[in-house]
Amino acid sequence: MSTLALPPTGLRFENIDKRYGGLFALRRVSLEIAPGECVVLAGRNGSGKTTLLRIAARIVSPTAGKLSFPGAVGDSAAGRPGYVAHTTMVYDELTAEENLVLFASLQDVPNPTARAEELLREVNLFERRDSVVRTFSRGMRQRIAIARALIHRPSVLLFDEPATGLDPLGISWLAKTLGDVNRSGCTVVMSLHGESEVSALATRAVQLDAGAVVADTKTGASLRSILSFGGA
Amino acid sequence: MTKRILLGVVATALIIAAAYANFYIAPTERTMGVIQRIFYFHAATAWAGEMVFFVCFVANLLYVWKREQKYDWLGVTCAEVGLACITIVLITGPIWAKPVWGIYWTWDARLTSTFVLWLLYVSYLLLRTLIEEPGRRALLSALFGIFAFLDVPLVFFSIRWWRTQHPAPVIMGGQGSGLDPTMKKVFFFNVLVMHIFCLFLIVERYVLEKLRHDVDLLQREAEVQ
Amino acid sequence: MALFSNTATLLSKELRTEFRSRELLTTTSVFILIVLVLFSFATNPGTEEARQFAPGLLWLAILFASSLMFQSCFLREQVNDTLSSLRLAVSDPFAIFLAKLIANTLFLLLTEALMLPFFAIFYNISLWSKLPALSLVLLLGSVGIAVAGTAISAISAQARMRELLLPLLLLPLLTPVLVVSATVTGSLLDRDPVVQWKGIAFLGVFDVVFLTALWIFGQYFLEE
């Protein structure tokens, strides 16, 4: 995988609250993630994983608390995290290449077309670069989404349930890709259900329940029990 | 609580006093006769309504800036009270117009822009019913409220400069110009009274909104348990 | 400046997306045509009265068409949550609005251009000599409609019953544009044409006011 644009960055959540009306999606979540870690967020549906990732991606603003990226240099587009979620977040009516060039241009990536092609090759979509994304299969959609997220060589990659809907081949490819990304220095935070090749990449796991952190391998909990929502 | 009751009593007493003044103290207008008396109420309500909408605008701005719920409550409160005032203006206008000019409606700048104002704030309230999440509802309706209020002077002047009927029937008998001194006093008394009455309505409606919010909160907490 | 380069990039995306499918342009143009024809059934075109109503009807048709056209503006960003990826990628969220409102203005102008010949034929009005001034009114009016329409589209996309809500929110807001544009167009198409510069200036003021408001508050429309 390509090198990072900027030095490695960590993530720091300080007392993050997120309220929707009267409901707390996240309650006083404090978490420090070091540069280069590969962290798995586990928890039931509705435990706040998606919200936490969207806050980290700066798409959602917290009701209270502070988010920072220790080690981040400056405020350029390259410093922003890459984010992959359930949808591709690209345009169905545009081709794979057009989509990547679009996002590369927006984020001031030098030589957007070359970078787009480079990434298309890395995710094995180069042959389909002139096809509109609407024609893509689930696995291909996953790959274009990852390409979009990595286009600006982020120092942090956020991944919301990456393995959903993938066949075993897809999961293997995903595990390899995420492993490569992490090894190149990128901090990876991903939410997962259960054990798989992907969860095996984790250097750390954190369990969320009802919007709060209830277990952390850093403080002694076991990875296995976190992944099965067992708590500390 | 007692302050609210006191305000309510004072406001009601003042309205009765204003009604008395309108019918018994103000002299009868020379050309229009008794029907002209509705104007004290009509114009005073219009002024009060405009002031209330201005407060709504300020509340909207404050909400976007500070994101405190109380500004959202104030916003919806003022929108509803303002809308009530405007509705009264739109009803009393034709009541006056029919006997005097034989027509219910006139495309006068003030009346027409009042109607558009009414439509804008009805839309504001409708928008609120169509967004469930309270934070989004507050923010998006505040933003629409700001745009709506910025539109108001544009509406008024566009109609006044390009749509006002010529010759324009003079609505207020020449407001302030050549108005009998007693009439002037009665008019400004009405203005004061309507502002106080609107204040009373705002206080009550605000309290209601806060109560609704508290009840909602308690319900949700009960559900979680 | 980052805002302008982002806007240019996004604008080319908007245009490319639309010209690839042309759904918006075709449906909007056909709609305006239908509205004009319906108006002619309701009135009596060719008569002097109809000619007097014609400018107003033209702008009414444009307004109705725009309240359809702007439906998809932000809805199409919800399909794959591209709004989130855009917000992540741009340095200034106003770029998203600016690109969309320029695109919407262009689409409106294109639709109007396609429809003007029909208008001239139905109502037996000669437009050629008045084209420059008419273009100015159409431009300023369309910009105003597009600015308000883009803003309202961002709001209604986040509410229920959005197809009904958008016109409800947008049309009262556009009253000044309708009044002034129809009047200025009317005096342009009169037997003794007059250019109402005050009206044209007023349209400019409307555009500036709402553009400024959108610039100041735009980012809040997209917040989560």
Q: Which of B123, B132, B154 sits opposite C176 (nearest CB)?
A: B154
pLDDT digits (tens, 9 = 90+) for B113-135: 899 999 999 999 999 999 988 89
Phi first, then psi, for residue C195 (nearest 5°) are -95, 115
Phi first, then psi, for residue B102 (nearest 5°) are 80, 0
Q: Which of C172, C180, C221 sits opposite B120 (nearest CB)?
A: C172
CB distance B144–C160 less than 8 Å? no
pLDDT digits (tens, 9 = 90+) for B17-35: 888 888 887 777 777 777 7
Q: Greatest CA separation found in chain A? A: 49
Q: Answer with the residue of higher pLDDT: C2 or C167.
A: C167
The mean predicted confidence, pLDDT, of chain C is 91
Q: Which residues of chain A are under the pLDDT cut of 50?
A: 231-232
Mean pLDDT value across residues C94-101: 96
Scan for tokens 């999606």, then name that residue: A25
Q: What CATH number is associated with residue A50? A: 3.40.50.300
Tokens of B103: 């027509």
Q: Which residues of A touch B216 (CB under 8 A)?
A: 21-22
- Give one DSSP letter per residue of A80-111, joined into a string: SPEEE-SS--S-TTSBHHHHHHHHHHHTT-SS
Q: Is the pLDDT of residue B167 over 60?
A: no
Q: Which of B64, B120, B154 sits opposite C220 (nearest CB)?
A: B64
Mean pLDDT value across residues C88-101: 94
The A187-192 sheet, strands edge to edge: A82-84, A156-160, A187-192, A38-42, A204-209, A212-216
CB distance A22–B133 less than 8 Å? no
- Angle, helices C162-173 vs B134-162, to 10°: value is 40
Q: Is A106 touching C (CB cutoff 8 A)?
A: yes
Give the pLDDT of residue C124.
Answer: 81
Q: Is A136 touching C (CB cutoff 8 A)?
A: no
What is the H or E stretch that residue C148 is in? Answer: helix C131-156
Q: Answer with the residue of higher pLDDT: B217 or B214.
A: B214
Q: Which residues of B touch A51 (CB under 8 A)?
A: none
Residues A34 and A57 in one domain: yes
Containing domain of residue A183, as a range?
Answer: 1-81+156-232
Global pTM? 0.91
Q: Which of C140, C156, C158 to mutate to test the interface with B (most CBs of B within 10 A)?
A: C158
Query: In this predicted structure, which of A19-23, B6-10, C24-28, C137-141 has the lowest mean pLDDT?
Result: A19-23
Q: Which of C205, C220, C224 to mutate to test the interface with B (most CBs of B within 10 A)?
A: C220
Chain A residue with the nearest C-alpha to that of C1: A108
Q: Which residues of A touch C17 (CB under 8 A)?
A: 91, 93-94
**Number of folded domains that form chain A:** 2
Q: Which residues of C touch A54 (CB under 8 A)?
A: 84, 224
Q: Is the pLDDT of residue B94 over 90?
A: no
Give the pLDDT of residue B59.
Answer: 97
- C170 forms beta bridges with none
Q: Is A12 helix (H, G, I), strand (E, B) or coil?
A: strand
Cis peptide before C45 (omega within 30 of 0): no
Q: Is B178 helix (H, G, I), strand (E, B) or coil?
A: coil
Tokens of B49: 């309504």
Q: Which of A18, A23, A27, A60 to mutate to test the interface with B (most CBs of B within 10 A)?
A: A23
Percent of chain C with pLDDT over 70: 99
Chain B residue with the nearest C-alpha to that of A22: B217
Give the pLDDT of residue B164.
Answer: 67
Scan for tokens 């050549």, then name that residue: B178
Tokens of B176: 């302030």
Residues A173 and A232 in one domain: yes
- Dist CA B53 CA C20 (whole Å): 45
Q: Is A89 touching C (CB cutoff 8 A)?
A: yes
Residues A5 and A103 in one domain: no
Q: Is A23 touching B (CB cutoff 8 A)?
A: yes
Beta strand A38-42 with A64-68: parallel, antiparallel or unpaired? unpaired
Chain C closest-CA separation from residue A148 CA (Å): 9
Q: Which residues of C touch B146 (CB under 8 A)?
A: 213, 217
**A88 found inside a domain:** no
Residues A138 and A173 in one domain: no
Mean pLDDT value across residues C93-107: 95
Chain A closest-CA separation from residue C215 CA (Å): 19
Mean pLDDT value across residues C91-114: 94
pLDDT digits (tens, 9 = 90+) for B37-56: 888 888 899 999 999 999 99
Residues A140 and A225 in one domain: no
Q: Which has the closest alpha carbon to C106: C63, C151, C142?
A: C142
Give the pLDDT of residue B176.
Answer: 44
**Cβ contacts of residue C38 below 8 Å, gap of 6+?**
none
Q: Which of A83, A91, A108 sits opposite C88 (nearest CB)?
A: A83
Residues A31 and A66 in one domain: yes
Mark C16-30 as b/e (b = at least 16 C-beta within 10 Å). ebbeeeeebbeebbe
The complex's ipTM works out to: 0.92
Give the pLDDT of residue A2.
Answer: 62
Q: Which residues of C touch A61 (CB under 8 A)?
A: 223-224
- Dist CA C63 CA A7 (whole Å): 52
Query: In this predicted structure, which of A189-203, B68-82, B170-184 has the lowest mean pLDDT?
Result: B170-184
Q: Which of A19, A20, A22 sits opposite B216 (nearest CB)?
A: A22
Proportion of chain B in helix, strand, coil states, percent, rounded to 5: 80, 0, 15
Q: Which of C6, C21, C80 sits opposite A89 (nearest CB)?
A: C80
Give the pLDDT of residue C63.
Answer: 94
Percent of chain B with pLDDT over 70: 92
Q: Which residues of A touch B221 (CB under 8 A)?
A: 22
Give the pLDDT of residue A231.
Answer: 46
**A139 found inside a domain:** yes
Q: Which residues of C touch A102 (CB under 8 A)?
A: 9, 13
Give the pLDDT of residue B181.
Answer: 79
- A67 forms beta bridges with A13
CB distance B154–C221 less than 8 Å? no
Q: Which of A53, A75, A80, A91 to mutate to test the interface with C (most CBs of C within 10 A)?
A: A91
- Dist CA C192 CA C174 (whole Å): 28
Confidence of residue B165 (pLDDT cuts 50, 70, 90): low
Mean pLDDT value across residues C170-179: 95
Give chains near B: 3+ CB pairs under 8 A. A, C
Mean pLDDT value across residues C188-195: 83
- A13 forms beta bridges with A31, A67
Confidence of residue B174 (pLDDT cuts 50, 70, 90): very low
Q: Is A228 helix (H, G, I), strand (E, B) or coil?
A: coil
Query: In this predicted structure, which of A2-16, B67-81, B109-123, B186-200 has the lowest mean pLDDT?
Result: A2-16
Handedness of CA C93, C97, C100, C102 (dihedral sign): negative
CB distance C16–A85 less than 8 Å? no
**Cβ contacts of residue B141 below 8 Å, gap of 6+?**
B60, B72, B75, B76, B124, B127, B128, B131
Q: Which of C6, C13, C84 sits opposite A89 (nearest CB)?
A: C84
- Dist CA A159 CA A230 (whole Å): 22
Residues A1 and A76 in one domain: yes
Chain B residue with the nearest C-alpha to that of C204: B154
pLDDT digits (tens, 9 = 90+) for C195-210: 889 999 999 999 999 9
Chain B closest-CA separation from residue A22 CA (Å): 5
Map out the domains of chain B as residue ranges.
Answer: 2-224
- Dist CA B198 CA A219 (whole Å): 59
